[in-house]
Structure 1
Amino acid sequence: MRALEDATLEIEGALETRGDRTRLLTTLEDDIDDSVKPIILGKMGQIRSEIRDLKSYYDLESITVSSRRHISTKLAILAIDLTECLSQYLRSYGEVPEAERATLDERVSRLEALVNEASKLIVSNRRG
């Protein structure tokens, strides 16, 4: 149910961008007719309403998730993903040319360092 709830929010966000760039590496093509978007948004609302009804019917409690833990986990996964972007691990996508390896590795390492710095800030910052 949480995955379904997350997906509805992501879909709504994709429909509401109306061509605005919110990402750097993904551009969503605005190829859904404007007349259909409100209908889809309505369906997403119905889905969330059904989730709400199930929650109420089965007397389900909302879980409280630590923002710190959630963000820290996401950043840890991203750091692992970035490690796999180093030239030595990209062989399945084709060999990275020798002249580009050092540059790629340096740039990916900078990104990984930034992710790790953000992670350290999250882990060390506790409210209360």
Structure 2
Amino acid sequence: MKPVTKKRTYAVLIDIAFSGIINAAAENFLRKKVKNEAFLTLVLPTLITWGMEYGQLKYSGQTLGYKLMELRLESGDGSPLTSGQILKRIAHRDFASSIAYMRDRKNFSRDEGRSLAQDRFAGTIVTTKST
């Protein structure tokens, strides 16, 4: 595994743990107000995870995990990240990325792990502190 890919994996695990903590608190708070179990189990975690990721990337180009792993998400052309790029990247990663990996494992990761399928789809690239 390439060093950047390894850092990206650790960053995702950190982000999952962080959003899990926030989700547990939100679910505990909302359980008395919202009686729909499907909402609490399926919709709420997705909204929290996507919302946190979107907000962090829009604000600084880094999630908590990316910051701890010294990674940054940037637009492929050097311009500031757009809302569309962030949303396309999140949606592609969560829905289509697995299919892209199964279809073409060899080309799923490019540029030393800085560009995965969701990055190419959204026109973004991951940089490290040294790049």
**Under a length normalisation based on structure 1, what TM-score does the superposition of the two structures give?**
0.24
Larger Rg: 1
**Under a length normalisation based on structure 2, what TM-score does the superposition of the two structures give?**
0.24
